[in-house]
Amino acid sequence: MAKVVIDIETLGYPLESFDETRQKYLLKFAETEAEREEAIQKLSLYPTTSQVIAIGLLNPETERGKILFQADEPMDYVSDNGAIRFVTGTEKEILEHFWQDISHYDQFITFNGRGFDCPFLMLRSAILQVQPTRNLMPYRYDASIHCDLLEQFTFYNAFRKFNLDFYCKSFGIVSPKASGITGLDMKQLFEEKRFREIAEYNLGDLKATAELFRRWERFLSV
């Protein structure tokens, strides 16, 4: 069975890019400056107010993969001794590339993929009129197709949910946050054209998720 870990990075559009009606809607409950800043920060969480700036795919068995990411100039290179290929494109182009690649895998693995990555990819694709090649949201309780580790580690909400960093530290796995970069830094990195750093951060998330999957597969997939 061919397996692949999926992870995405997103970035909200500037508030001023929306028309006045939508700006008012987005700030509807922001009564203070702090609440306004929080509302703007959360734009990255919704596929109707943000874009995909990186999509990572990693085979947890071969540790080979690909990072698709936006940049201001074309790039196509490899790292990790040739195991990881980095490819740039527009948001539409990286989505098209993703759908071509994902069609070759039987099982995809995510961390909170059902709650974020997968519906985000599907809706952004619909908005940009990119044709999907498969359903990323299959039957929830069958991990043989989509294994969402957040659902597996909480036993489908039996326990409190923790973030990827917390689970990595709990399992003794190097956290991708150890680099000092978090999802909150995507705006600054993108604006400063530090596109490779975004791609490398995405790769860190993939590797951590792959190691968590190996732990789940060995000790919990019974």
Q: What is the pLDDT of residues 58-92, one digit of tens each?
A: 999 999 999 999 999 999 999 988 999 999 999 99
Give me the long-range contacts of 15-24 (CB less than 8 A, separation at least 24): 15/40, 15/43, 18/49
Residue whose C-alpha is closest to residue 205's, from 149, 158, 151? 149
- Percent of the chain scoring above 90 in pLDDT: 93
According to DSSP, the β-strands at 84-88 and 76-79 are antiparallel
pLDDT at 179: 79
Query: What residue segments make up the domains of the chain, in order of their start?
Result: 3-219
Alpha carbons 188 and 177: distance in angstroms, whole number: 16
- Mean pLDDT for 112-122 is 98
Mean pLDDT over the full length of the chain:
96
User: Does the CA dihedral 15-21-25-30 come out positive or negative?
Assistant: positive
Side-chain-side CA neighbours of 30 within 13 Å: the count stands at 15
pLDDT at 144: 96
Asked if pLDDT for residue 119 goes beyond 90, the answer is: yes
Phi, psi of 112 (to 5 degrees): 65, 30
Q: pLDDT per residue over 181-214, tens digit each?
A: 888 899 999 999 999 999 999 999 999 999 999 9
Beta bridge partners of 70: none
**Entry pTM:** 0.96
Query: Per CATH, the architecture of 3-219 is what?
Result: 2-Layer Sandwich (3.30)
The answer to whether 211 and 173 are in contact (CB under 8 A) is: yes
- Mean pLDDT for 19-42 is 96
pLDDT at 80: 83
b vs e for 9-20, b when ≥16 Cβ sit within 10 Å of the residue's Cβ?
Answer: bbbbeeeeebee
Asked if pLDDT for residue 1 goes beyond 90, the answer is: no
Q: Residues for the chain: how many in total?
A: 222
